[in-house]
A and B are shown apart, each in its own frame.
Chain A
Amino acid sequence: MSDTTLAVEIPTALRPQVGDQESVEVSGGTVGELLGKLKAEYPDFGAKLYKTDTELNRFINIYLNDEDIRFLENLETPVKAGDHLAIVPAIAGG
């Protein structure tokens, strides 16, 4: 599978750890590969994004094209050009 480059949307609370960028461009074939690249590039950020090496922080939701990746193939979900990947804290409710 060829790699796709996407701009991953970063929530405000995390932006200081990625140089105050609203989004960060990374490449990969799946959601997990993209987030893995982010983690490698920004270790502090990565430490908060992941609970373990393979498991995301339970307070983080990842949306691919407005769909929670847990309804897709989770970290294995393939990405293609033009997709929109967003990291959104699980905050509101009620």
Chain B
Amino acid sequence: MSYVKSLRGKESGVDYPIEPRTICDSDFGPVEVTYDYEAMKGKVTRESIEAGPLSLWRYRDLLPIENEPRAGLQSGWTPLVKADRLAKHLGVKELYIKDDSANYPSFSYKDRVVAVAVTKAFEFGFDTVGCASTGNLAHSVSAHAAAAGLKACVMVPHDLEAGKMVGMNVFGPRVVRIEGNYDDVNRLCSQIADKYNWAIVNVNLRPFYTEGAKTHGFEIAEQMGWKLPKHTVVPVAGGTILPKIWKGYQEFIELGLVEDNKPAMYGAQAEGCNPIVTALEEEAELFRPQKPNTIAKSIAIGNPADGYYVLKNIRESGGYGASASDPEILEAIKLLAEHEGIFTEPAGGTTMACAIKLIKSGRIPKDEPICVCITGNGLKTLEAMDGQFPESRAIPAKMADFDQLIQETSQTKEPAHV
């Protein structure tokens, strides 16, 4: 059973049945799953959720599936780290890292959206799943398809990091490298979805796929002890996750699962690809697309399909945005690693760097709970760290050489106990 009501044109309000659908026919706008929240009241409770599995499927009543989950049974329920050492370093009172670099099976937040999309692909009877991706989504689609026994065809820009390519090829999908940037891949994929009868997860399964992103927000709230952080900093690429964390927070408020503390949302982008932050800074209603040029390739999307809603939700919530340069991104990756033992990819470095900027500029007050959403794993993008760490000298296996090396080198660290 499910609480799903319809697919509804987000702008037009036109209702459609539950079917693979890319856009609203009446205005070309996005379509979104609607639910019967009244029917959920008293049934979808803290207790009912806590009785569920330790995966994102504990929120299945708020996800658009009809039958049992068919994919991602171990996805989600990633750590929410109370980052006390980093909080002290930044001079803030309460800082959390929602760490999807530890997501299963492919180490990024995409395992959430794909778990839902692949389950829907089964429900709709597709035998092939695909996506347009900057890497992480292709990993997740390929891994979930392999485990589910579905065929996969993933489309990516031609110049991805070597680790990203291996990380998808290993699962045996058909990988199509496209000469161009993500936006070129995306455009082709929308045409492919028109022509082939495939479940392109972020095209014709998009309304279902995006709902999976809500679980990132649900988990933050539950893991904070059924509370919302006052400030949530989220990377912005295509614009899926920020509006869906926001929707997740609003659904929990609507169901009375958390108190409405007026949570504010903040968008993080790389300076080399920051259409949303530029629009915020210029107070423009719409963003202008950009040609990306940044080491944060997984968020290098210059024409974000849901950018309009990112702007809308940020503004509604009273949040803001920031962008980070490539050197700032690398510094933030190291800062997070050295203080919390979390190794994120440049997208996560971007989010961390932007959170720091927003704190330093006073946009985010230091005395209120802050959550930084880390969406990807640094081990996939090792090239980004090239040259960051000088190679250490190898020594003979002799104690005297070790003693000498230790005398020559030092390790500075802030006190561990505060």
Q: Which residues on A are within 8 Å of B, measured CB to CB?
A: 11-14, 48, 57-61, 63, 66, 68, 70-71, 88-94
Contact = CB atoms under 8 A, between A and B. Distances in A.
Interface string B27-44: 111100000000000000
A57 B289 contact: no
Interface of B: 22-23, 25-30, 110, 113, 132, 137, 180, 183-184, 186-187, 189-191, 194, 200, 202-203, 206, 209-210, 237-241, 286, 288-289, 291, 301, 303-306, 308
A84 to B, nearest CB: 12
Contacts of B184: 66
Contacts of B29: 59
Contact of A91 (B110, B113, B203, B289): B203
B23 A59 contact: yes
Contacts of B210: 94
Contacts of B25: 13
B305 A92 contact: yes
B202 A93 contact: yes
Contact of B240 (A60, A68, A94): A94
Contact of B190 (A48, A68, A88): A88
Contact of B304 (A14, A59, A93): A93
B190 A93 contact: no
B132 A57 contact: no
Mostly, the A contact residues are: mixed
Given A88-B190, A92-B305, A94-B110, 13 more contacts: A14-B28, A58-B286, A59-B23, A88-B191, A89-B28, A89-B190, A90-B305, A92-B200, A92-B202, A94-B209, A94-B238, A94-B240, A94-B241
16 contacts: A13-B25, A48-B26, A61-B303, A66-B184, A89-B28, A90-B28, A91-B22, A91-B23, A91-B30, A91-B190, A91-B305, A92-B132, A92-B203, A93-B238, A93-B239, A94-B240
Contacts of B237: 93-94
A70 B129 CA distance: 31
B187 A88 contact: yes
Contacts of A12: 194
A63 to B, nearest CB: 7
Nearest to A22: B194
Nearest to B23: A89
Given A48-B26, A93-B202, A70 B289 contact: yes
Contact of A13 (B22, B241, B288, B305): B22
B29 to A, nearest CB: 5
